[in-house]
Amino acid sequence: GAVVSQHPSRVICKSGTSVKIECRSLDFQATTMFWYRQFPKQSLMLMATSNEGSKATYEQGVEKDKFLINHASLTLSTLTVTSAHPEDSSFYICSARAQISYNEQFFGPGTRLTVL
Partner 1 sequence: TQLLEQSPQFLSIQEGENLTVYCNSSSVFSSLQWYRQEPGEGPVLLVTVVTGGEVKKLKRLTFQFGDARKDSSLHITAAQTGDTGLYLCAGGRYNTDKLIFGTGTRLQVFP
List of residues contacting partner 1 (CB under 8 A) = 2, 4, 6, 32, 34, 41-44, 46, 49, 91, 93, 95, 97, 102-110, 112
Q: What is the dihedral of CA 56, 39, 109, 84, to 10 degrees?
A: 60
CB of 36 to partner 1, least distance (A): 8
CB nearer partner 1, residue 7 or residue 82: 7
CB nearer partner 1, residue 49 or residue 82: 49
Q: Residue 88 carries which DSSP code?
A: G
CB of 16 to partner 1, least distance (A): 26
CB nearer partner 1, residue 14 or residue 41: 41
Strands 111-115 and 10-13, how do they pair? parallel
3-state class percentages of the chain: helix first, strand second, coil last, to nearest 5:
5, 55, 40
